[in-house]
Amino acid sequence: MPINDHMYRVLMIDMERSNISKDEPVTLEEFRSSLIRTTGSDLGLNDVKWMSRFGNATRQAGRYRNGRLFLAGDSAHIHFPAGGQGMNVGLQEAMNLGWKLAGAIKGWAPDWLLNSYHAERFPWNTALLRNTEVQTLLLDVTPLSLNFEAC
């Protein structure tokens, strides 16, 4: 994915490395070797700015509100980044909660309004987690053997 004319973001799943701890730093050698094994090329990799590992843990807080504490975004739910949805739903939570908090601070919000945040967002995100779990299952096939030159 191009970030600008000279920089690209490369995101990959290497089934042979899928049991590595998310906290183990990625090395350039590891990434290059995964790229070559998966695509047949290192895609001209050089001058790398940033690398990280991600996992497929799927978790959701049972309650998005506890008194004056509210959870939104990845603090409320995490999932495999299938479909590019995590930031989007976090922003939707900010939209849902922001005006309700303003109402509570300004004194016009009824008591039930802040509770409607969890009631409205939790079911959507439960469906989102099922969606990403199914997408993960579909991806989890015997080692993919993509050949970019052949595409």
Ligand X SMILES: Cc1cc2nc3c(=O)[nH]c(=O)nc-3n(C[C@H](O)[C@H](O)[C@H](O)COP(=O)(O)OP(=O)(O)OC[C@H]3O[C@@H](n4cnc5c(N)ncnc54)[C@H](O)[C@@H]3O)c2cc1C
Nearest-angstrom CA–CA distance, 132 and 138: 10
Which of 11/150 has CB closer to ligand X? 11
84 binds ligand X (CB under 6 A): yes
- Element spanning 131, H or E: helix 111-139
Please give the size of the binding site for ligand X, defined by CB under 6 A.
11
Binding mask 27-56 for ligand X (x = CB under 6 A): ---------------------------x--
11 binds ligand X (CB under 6 A): yes
Stretch that binds ligand X, among 20-28, 29-37, 39-47, 86-94 (CB under 6 A): 86-94
Nearest-angstrom CA–CA distance, 141 and 13: 11
2 binds ligand X (CB under 6 A): no
DSSP, collapsed to helix, strand or coil, labels residue 120 as: helix
Pick the closest to residue 113 from 125, 95, 99 (CA basis). Answer: 99
Nearest-angstrom CA–CA distance, 20 and 88: 28
Stretch that binds ligand X, among 26-34, 79-87, 111-119, 122-130 (CB under 6 A): 79-87
Which of 87/119 has CB closer to ligand X? 87
| Region at 87 (left for phi over 0; alpha for psi -120 to 50; beta for the rest) | alpha
Interacting residues toward ligand X by CB under 6 A: 11, 54, 73-74, 81, 84-88, 90
